Amino acid sequence: MRLRLLLCLLCAILIAGCKKDKITDPPGKPPVDVPVSKPFSVANVLKSNMVIQRDKPAKIWGYAKAQSTITVTASWAGAPITATTSANGEWEAIIPAAPANATAQNISISTPGETTVKLDNILIGDVWICSGQSNMAMPVGKLPPSFGGVENYEAEIAAANYPQIRAFTVKEDYQDKPLAQFTNPSAWVTCSPSTAGGLSATAYFFARKLHTDLNVPIGIIVSAVNGSWCETWTNKAALQASPATSGYVGQHQSSALFNGMIAPLTKMTIKGFTWYQGENNQKMVPVTDYTSLNIALINGWRTEFAQGELPFYYVQITPFDDGGAGNSTQNYLAKFRETQANVRKGTPSAGMVVTLDIGEADNHHPKYKKQVGERLALLALNKTYAENVPDTGPQYASFSQSGNKVTIDFVSGTANGLNTIAGAPIKQYFFVAGADQVFRQATANISGDKILLVAPADTPLPVVAVRYAFTNFPITNLQNNAGLPMEPFRTDNWNN
């Protein structure tokens, strides 16, 4: 019996010595990569009807069995391009840069033993990513109950026959980690009266202006979510990069919309970004943090797309009686607009659209999206495409005074032909203050390309500060001869 037990114990020891839970490599050697097999596919943002970015190498990517040979044939590129799938089942192919082409093209992607993927009706032009919250998401047509459509929406939809404008609308998707693929991909659609009503209005009018002025195909990728925060769209590494923004990691599902709705696009070759967001952040404390947050978003996106200082054009929030109480002296939204304006100061290749003249005091989603989209396009035409078009309204430069009279001067070239909309009387949104720091409404008149103010009699002289449209919901009417509105400003940094 004792011998039998000893034999059983010896067998158990031998068996345990031979058994291994996992394969290990000899000491001093790196682990062996086990090839990954993935079903053959092409990235799900790359589809028929899309626009390929002109004048830059275009990346085509996807998945397949490890060490597979992938052949990409673009109808405009000549010889086929080959790529080899990596050990983790990913492949990328680079199509050489090509000029704009409005003739329908195709791409075939194949690998031995699999069905060829073919993308048809492709154009070569400029691709812009249009992102933000509800005012970017609002369509050309009605979206009950929150949006009644843009101004003259029925006529705009009927006239939207622009087959060289293509759109891809990303579906809402909050994710904890950056995605390589969309979980629920959309299709690229061709702009026509049957599709235009559902397109982002701001993005559509932006694309239409670029297309008609430049005569090249335009692709818009709309990635916008109602009621979303700037930090939710900012990638985690960008938030962590600065003490000014690191505290926003973990707030408002930080980075979740970047992860689900921007990260799958970062391999795309694009022209630039447009951005319409801010309403969710407008009461943040301190409000000045928004400048750092928006700059972090811009820097983070540029880093992730790895295409240099991609242009970034954004929209300052419109006038709105936020509390509905009709208090025309409140100015917390003006202070938020100021933080938005400051984004430009530290950010190359950025520009801001002013919307003080096209707001609706009782509506957070104003119908004047055509003006917003076209003003974004003017920024792009001037700054990105080097077209000789005005893109900026009157911008404050300085003031001088003599007695109770104050003269406002503007940045050179921005106030040419200073006037009011339809020649109406100036809406009196100028205020002046003396040493008591109490602002009193001044009387304003146009004098050439300057504004002349008369301070009220009870103002302690000299005037030490001037403000223009620095309240929550001033619907203004001062503009230059290009129809671009004067920017709000203040010359002080007081808390009142």
In three-state form (DSSP H/G/I as H, E/B as E, the rest C), the secondary structure along 270-284 is: CCEEEEECCHHHCCC
CA distances from 463 to 430, 440, 466, 496 (A): 13, 11, 8, 16
User: How confident is residue 38, by pLDDT bands cut at 50, 70 and 90?
Assistant: confident
- The predicted pLDDT at position 91 comes to 97
Of 7-21, 105-119, 415-429, least confident by mean pLDDT is 7-21
Q: Supply the DSSP symbol for 263.
A: G
Structure tokens at 395: 């911008």
Higher-confidence position of 36 and 59: 59
Residue 172: phi and psi, rounded to 5, are: -55, 130
- The predicted pLDDT at position 324 comes to 87
% of the chain exceeding 90 in pLDDT: 90
**Partners of 82 in beta bridges:** 71
Cβ–Cβ contacts within 10 Å for residue 49, how many? Answer: 19
User: How confident is residue 237, by pLDDT bands cut at 50, 70 and 90?
Assistant: very high
Whether residue 477 has pLDDT greater than 70: yes
Structure tokens at 65: 């069995």
Q: Which residues are within 8 A (CB) of 407 and not within 5 positions of it... i.e. 6 or more apart?
A: 399, 400, 401, 447, 450, 451, 452, 453
The pTM for the full model equals: 0.92
Does 264 sit behind a cis peptide bond, omega within 30 degrees of 0 on the bond before it? Answer: no
Question: Which amino acid is it at 484?
Answer: L
Whether residue 132 has pLDDT greater than 60: yes
Q: Is the separation of the CB atoms in 411 and 395 below 8 Å? A: yes
DSSP-based three-state secondary structure for 312: strand
DSSP-based three-state secondary structure for 154: helix
Q: What are the start-end ranges of the H helices in 176-288?
A: 201-214, 236-240, 243-246, 256-257
Q: Is the separation of the CB atoms in 228 and 255 below 8 Å? A: no
Q: Is the separation of the CB atoms in 448 and 418 below 8 Å? A: yes
User: How confident is residue 35, by pLDDT bands cut at 50, 70 and 90?
Assistant: low
Whether residue 6 has pLDDT greater than 70: no
Task: Kindly state the average pLDDT of the residues 407-416.
Answer: 98
Question: Which amino acid is it at 440?
Answer: R
Whether residue 22 has pLDDT greater than 80: no
Strands (E), 375-468: 396-402, 405-410, 419-420, 430-433, 439-441, 443-447, 450-454, 465-468
DSSP-based three-state secondary structure for 116: coil
Whether residue 179 has pLDDT greater than 80: yes
Tallying the residues shown for the chain, one arrives at 496
User: How confident is residue 145, by pLDDT bands cut at 50, 70 and 90?
Assistant: confident
Q: What are the start-end ranges of the H helices in 256-331?
A: 256-257, 289-305
Structure tokens at 383: 């700054």
Q: Is the separation of the CB atoms in 97 and 190 below 8 Å? A: no
- The predicted pLDDT at position 292 comes to 98
Task: Kindly state the average pLDDT of the residues 249-268.
Answer: 98
Structure tokens at 220: 């818009």
Cβ–Cβ contacts within 10 Å for residue 81, how many? Answer: 17
Task: Kindly state the average pLDDT of the residues 186-211.
Answer: 98
% of the chain exceeding 70 in pLDDT: 93
| Model pLDDT for residues 341-388, shown as the tens digit of each residue | 999 998 999 999 999 999 999 999 999 999 999 999 999 999 999 999
Task: Kindly state the average pLDDT of the residues 273-300.
Answer: 98
Q: Is the separation of the CB atoms in 212 and 170 below 8 Å? A: no
- The predicted pLDDT at position 242 comes to 94
Task: Kindly state the average pLDDT of the residues 274-291.
Answer: 97
Q: Is the separation of the CB atoms in 168 and 46 below 8 Å? A: no
DSSP-based three-state secondary structure for 485: strand
- The predicted pLDDT at position 33 comes to 43
